[in-house]
Amino acid sequence: MPYRILDVESVLDYVRGRSEVDGSLDRARELEATEVGDGNLNLVFKVRERGRPERTVLVKQALPHVRVAEDWKLSPIRGRFEALSLEAFHELAPGSVPRPLWYDPEQYTIGMENLVGYRVIRQPMIAGREIAGLGHFVGSVMARVHFGTSDFGLDSADKKRALAPYTENTELCRITEDLILTEPFHRDQERNSWVPEVAADVARLQADDGLKREVARLKLAFMTRAEALLHGDLHSGSIMADADHIRMIDSEFAFYGPMGFDLGLFVGNLLINAAAQTAHAPSDAARHHYRDYLRGEIVTVWESYAGGMRAAFEAVSSPSWSAAGFLDAFLDQVLRDTCGFAGTEMIRRTIGFAHVQDVDAIDDPGVRGAVQRQVLAIGRRLISLHRHVTCLDDILTAAQEALEF
Ligand code: SR1
Ligand code: MG
């Protein structure tokens, strides 16, 4: 059947035609659907049996354009990379993602488990809710996925074969290269936007040639260092949690790149949240408490990641990878990348395309401007520093210089 964009009616017939849903819901019963997509790219339908909301599946369809900008054309083939990476995460870190059910290359849909009772964590975190186990979850899952898809965990030929399909994810890689690693650092880019309160800071940032050189290094690393399968968009809008569990979602930006990119995006978003607590926390004590929590999660994500990599390396037999000091040096490189990419993410979410609610939802323009200036300052510092960090404390100290953190 030719590709057609689904809606809350047509998705019901579509699901009735998919045997993969058996076990999740009964296709013979009355079904209902809601569209719940709140990201920038895709349609997302929850389909359930009427009156039995726990009998449900989730259908995600890639559109031929950016969902939030219809004149920005984009091939729906990106659904394939999300489907492939969903399978990879499911296999390497079971329980870390919704259970995949199907990929349909004609309708560019992915069917998957609907995470009943889960919420995207960005809004709860803006409201100061602690997500128990967040740092450990992200660090340990990414260590498994990165190790298991890298030259450390795979035979040389298998790694090259595993990487090959993702080289086609060109459009979404270019979005990252443009939106995160180019446009915010240069003048006259039409997709950038900022409020007048930070105009002077932006002018200084975009005139900083040293900063631009560091960003160019990070961009080249992103484009050329195919170390492992990345989630590719690991911000707090790509993580869901219920009271007891956490899952990653939305890996359509998946491709092979530098491992520190995923950790950097995650850390950058926690630091944006920490800055925004100036506005959101109900009291000084609550703000201090939540920033302590965030700092702890940054420590834990790194410790869990490094610990996971070290544990996985115990099974490595290659004389190259088990050379004395090699893993330590490699993890140092991942930490440096984490620092640099965290900085670029902080800056792009403030003055590039696709801002975040943590900051944009601050009503008072004076407070919002002050928070944005802090985010920009930390971002610049992390980028400038990234090739020189030797331990996580270097990153935390840089953030602390701008925040009471
Ligand atoms: C046009 S896509 C804009 C942003 O949304 C996604 O979540 C990625 O972060 C991307 O950079
Ligand atoms: Mg997304």
**Ligand 1 centre and the CA of 59: distance in Å?**
20
Note whether 112 and 58 are within 8 A (CB).
Answer: yes
Note whether 271 and 399 are within 8 A (CB).
Answer: yes
* Whether the predicted pLDDT of 150 surpasses 90: yes
* Whether the predicted pLDDT of 156 surpasses 70: yes
Ligand index nearest the alpha carbon of residue 42: 2
Q: List the one residue out of 74, 81, 57 whose CA is nearest residue 251.
A: 81
Q: Tell me the CA end-to-end span of the chain in Å, nearest whole number.
A: 55
Per-residue pLDDT, averaged over 81-107, amounts to 98
* Whether the predicted pLDDT of 224 surpasses 90: yes
**What is the total residue count of the chain?**
405
CA–CA separation, 217 vs 224, rounded Å?
Answer: 11
Closest residue CA from atom 4 of ligand 1: 354
**Ligand 2 centre and the CA of 335: distance in Å?**
24
**Ligand 2 centre and the CA of 63: distance in Å?**
13
Ligand index nearest the alpha carbon of residue 239: 2
CA–CA separation, 390 vs 405, rounded Å?
Answer: 20
C-alpha distances (whole Å) from 97 to each of 38, 59, 161, 184, 251 are 18, 15, 23, 31, 10
* Whether the predicted pLDDT of 405 surpasses 80: no
The minimum-distance atom of ligand 1 relative to the CA of 253 is 8
* Whether the predicted pLDDT of 168 surpasses 90: yes
CA–CA separation, 404 vs 402, rounded Å?
Answer: 7
Written as six digits, the tokens of 35 are 């569209």
How many CA within 13 A on the CB side of residue 331?
Answer: 19
pLDDT value of residue 404: 59
**Is residue 319 exposed (0-12), middle (13-18) or buried (19+ Cβ within 10 Å)?**
exposed
Closest residue CA from atom 2 of ligand 1: 40
* Whether the predicted pLDDT of 403 surpasses 90: no
Per-residue pLDDT, averaged over 317-338, amounts to 96
* Whether the predicted pLDDT of 39 surpasses 90: no
pLDDT digits (tens, 9 = 90+) for 129-145: 999 999 999 999 999 99
CA–CA separation, 405 vs 394, rounded Å?
Answer: 13
44, β-bridge pairs: 60
pLDDT digits (tens, 9 = 90+) for 231-285: 999 999 999 999 999 999 999 999 999 999 999 999 999 999 999 999 999 999 9
> Taken in order 265, 271, 273, 276, is the CA torsion positive or negative?
negative
Note whether 215 and 383 are within 8 A (CB).
Answer: yes
Q: 3-state SS string over 47-69?
A: EEECCEEEEEEEEEEECCEECCE
Note whether 291 and 325 are within 8 A (CB).
Answer: no
Confidence of residue 402 (pLDDT cuts 50, 70, 90): confident
Which residues are near ligand 1 (CB < 6 Å)?
A: 39-41, 66, 175, 179, 233, 353-354
* Whether the predicted pLDDT of 79 surpasses 90: yes
Which run of H or of E encompasses 376? helix 365-385
* Whether the predicted pLDDT of 26 surpasses 70: yes
Written as six digits, the tokens of 258 are 């530098």
* Whether the predicted pLDDT of 355 surpasses 90: yes
Note whether 275 and 246 are within 8 A (CB).
Answer: no
Written as six digits, the tokens of 234 are 């690991």
> Taken in order 145, 151, 153, 156, is the CA torsion positive or negative?
positive
C-alpha distances (whole Å) from 179 to each of 16, 17, 193, 224, 375 are 39, 38, 12, 17, 17
Per-residue pLDDT, averaged over 301-321, amounts to 96
Lowest mean pLDDT, pick from 66-70, 96-100, 169-173, 334-338: 66-70
**Is residue 320 exposed (0-12), middle (13-18) or buried (19+ Cβ within 10 Å)?**
exposed
Written as six digits, the tokens of 120 are 């995207």
Closest residue CA from atom 11 of ligand 1: 176
Name the average pLDDT for the chain. Answer: 97
Lowest mean pLDDT, pick from 331-340, 361-370, 374-383, 395-404: 395-404
**Ligand 1 centre and the CA of 172: distance in Å?**
9
Written as six digits, the tokens of 383 are 């980028």
Note whether 171 and 339 are within 8 A (CB).
Answer: no
Helix 365-385 crosses helix 392-402 at what angle (to 10 degrees)? 150
**Ligand 1 centre and the CA of 248: distance in Å?**
16
58, β-bridge pairs: 46, 112
Mutate to test the pocket of ligand 1, among 42, 177, 353 (most ligand atoms within 8 A of CB): 353
* Whether the predicted pLDDT of 45 surpasses 90: yes
Confidence of residue 47 (pLDDT cuts 50, 70, 90): very high
pLDDT value of residue 317: 87
